Each structure stands twice: as C-alpha cells, then as structure tokens.
Amino acid sequence: MQPIEPFQLSVAGRYAASSDSTLLDARVWLVVPCYKVRDRILSVIAKAPSWIEGIVCVDDACPEGTADFLEAEAPDPRVVVVRLAENQGVGGAVIAGYAEAERRGGRILVKVDGDDQMDLTYVSQLVAPIILGEADYAKGNRFTSISHLTAMPRVRIFGNAALSFAAKVSTGYWNVFDPTNGFTAIEASVAKRVIEKRISRRFFFETDLLYHLGTLRAVVRDVPIPARYGDEVSNLRIGAIVGPFALKHLKNFFLRILGQYFVRDFNVATLEMLIGAAFLSFGAGYGLRWLAVRDVGQAASAGVVMTAALPVIIGVQLLLQSMNFDVINVPTRPIHPYLRTLERIASE
C-alpha cells in the first residue's frame, strides 16, 4: 500500500465524495507521445482508468510505425491516433496532442509517457487540484518522500535536484520541484493559450512550459508521485544537454526578470534590483580599480576598504531582498475560471 502524503490527505478531505461520474464530468483526456514505444503502448492504454474520456496517441514520426500498429491492434474505442509527418520531439508531440484533445472537448489534459513508466492509478490525484479549482497545471514530484526515491538511480537524483533549482530561478515557480517530471495535467483553456507560445519542442519542453505558464501567471501545483523505473532505455543523454540546458535557463531567467519586473510591472523588487546592482557594481569596480593602480606592497587604507566593501554589502543585501520578493511572488490565483468565462462569452 502506498504511503499517504500530507497533500493527499488535504485533497482527500475535500475530494472524498468524488465518484467516477464526477471524474467523467471533468472530461479528462490522456495525451501520449509515441516514439519507439510500440512494445509498451498497449499496456499503457490498458491501464487507463475507465473514467478517462479519450486517449490521444501522437505518433511522432516513429520508425516503428506506432500509428499503424495502434489502428490495427488497439482495442480501446477511446484511442485517437495523431500522425506527425516529421519528428518534433516530445514537446511537439505533446502540443499536437493537447490541440487534438482540446478540439474534441477535453477539459483536463493529462500527459503520460508511452513507455509504461508512469503509474496511472495516480491520475485522479493529479487532476484533483484542477477539478477543485486550486491549480491550472499539476505535475508529479518524485522528491516528496525518501521512499519515493528508492527506485531512482542516484545520478538521476543529483541531476534532477540541480535542474530543479535552476528551474526555480528561471521560471519563478519557487514552490515546485522535479521540473523534468513528465507526468502532468493541465486545464484545457490554459493549454490552448500556452501552446500558442514558442515552447521548446525537445527535452527542455517541461521546464520551458513552466516558464511560459509563468508569463500567464498560471498556478502550478506539485503532486507526490513515486518514481518508477523498468528496463526502458531513455533517449536523453546527460552530457549532451548540460550546456544547452544551462543556456536556456539563463535566457529564460533574464527574459522573466525583464518581463515580470520591468515590462508588466515596476515595483519595490525592481528598485531593489536596480539599486542593488548599482551599489554592487560600484563597490566591486572601485576595489578592482584600486588593485590595478596601487603600488606594489601598498596596503589599503580603512577608507579605501570601506568605500569598496560597504557598497558591495549593501548591493548584495538589496539583491537578496529582491530575491525574497520573487520567492513570495508565486501565482496563487488560478486563471482557468477567467479563461473559461471568456470562452463562454465568445461563443454566445
């Protein structure tokens, strides 16, 4: 029996009366990107709960001919096959699946990998925050309990921890962890807005999606889900993505700060950043200049030390204070009720 986490208990208290009919009313669709998963895809489909309304399987130009295989062998009438003419990566496949599921009336879209690595018994917990109106996007988090990590290789634990901190900085979602977790759920009206943006189509997809959700001020919630690993072979090569990921995080960080604190708003954190950067630059510049022009063996006077050190100390403190503001500035009010209202008005 799986241990019950505090978050699960809080959800259970308000969600205990839910039934299959409630979940059917939620119109939940699965989106499954398919690339070299022909041997496992039928197992994934077979494990889909009965209250799932539809299953969109996206053949991402799979060399194994997954689309033809599904059309011939899939016994579940809920399966809808989408074919991509060219391989677009996991992000491109998921975006195509979101668009198809939303077009067919899906209201909550759950992304599931086709390698049978995700436990579909947790789908109800994943969609619960959206049904309850507490979130626009929910994602799995394998780091909520040590027991959840027993099956995860140690190198992945370290790598995911490092990526998680980088994602907090670049996306502004300081309240979430495990950003590369692909077990996610999104409200359809939010998905419709976010897929219009230039989201990375390859392995940076999940993190880049978080960044773009941040520009919409969408609410993101973590859901405790244990890690599961079998004999599947990952297409991700750590050495090949460290450099590109670092550059993408850096780019998103600067774009986020510029947009959030200088374009869409101008607040106390903006002033702290500007003044803090100015003080830090002055102090560091003064100190370096003195070192460059001093005579050999010349000791710095108390005045020189304070002129360099005090601005640096003040600048660092102001930048830390702006960081604290950023941490507490995480979105807390879901946007999908507003977006749904706009859709209803537009359709009348």
Q: Which residues are within 8 A (CB) of 19 and not within 5 positions of it... i.e. 6 or more apart?
A: none
Work out the average pLDDT over 248-266.
Answer: 94
> CA-to-CA distance for 60 and 84, rounded, in angstroms?
5
68-72, 143-147, 200-204, 257-261: range with lowest mean pLDDT: 143-147
> Comparing 29-33, 299-303, 342-346, which segment has the lowest mean pLDDT?
299-303
> Stretch 264-282: mean pLDDT, rounded?
95
> Concatenated DSSP letters for 140-171?
EETTS-GGGGTTS-HHHHHHHHHHHHHHHHHH
Q: How confident is the model at residue 241 (pLDDT cuts 50, 70, 90)?
A: low
Listing from the earlier edge strand, what are the strands of the sheet with 79-83? 79-83, 54-59, 28-34, 108-111, 184-187, 137-141, 220-224
Average pLDDT score over the chain: 87
Tens of pLDDT, residues 79-117: 999 999 999 999 999 999 999 999 999 999 999 999 888
In the numeric block, which tokens belong to residue 110?
């759950």
* Domain residue limits, the chain: 6-241, 266-328
Q: Is 125 helix (H, G, I), strand (E, B) or coil?
A: helix
Distance CA 344, CA 348 (A): 6
pLDDT of 158-186, one tens digit each?
777 888 899 999 999 999 998 888 899 99
Q: What is the per-residue pLDDT for 35? A: 93
Q: Could you tell me which residues come within 8 angstroms of residue 59 by beta carbon, excluding any fewer than 6 positions away?
A: 34, 65, 66, 67, 70, 81, 82, 83, 84
The first and second tokens of residue 162, run together, are: 């490092």
Of all helices (H) and strands (E), which one includes residue 93? Answer: helix 89-103
Q: Residue 5's closest CA among 225, 196, 175? A: 225
CATH topology of domain 6-241: Spore Coat Polysaccharide Biosynthesis Protein SpsA; Chain A (3.90.550)
If you ran DSSP here, which 8-state letter would residue 117 be given?
-
Predicted confidence at residue 143, as pLDDT, reads 83
Written as one string, the DSSP assignment of 237-287 is -HHHHHHHHHHHHHHHHHHHHHIIIIIS---HHHHHHHHHHHHHHHHHHHH
What tokens were used for 329?
A: 């500035």
Average pLDDT, integer, range 139-153 = 75
Identify the residue whose tokens are 């405790």. Answer: 224
Distance of alpha carbon 341 from alpha carbon 329, whole angstroms: 25
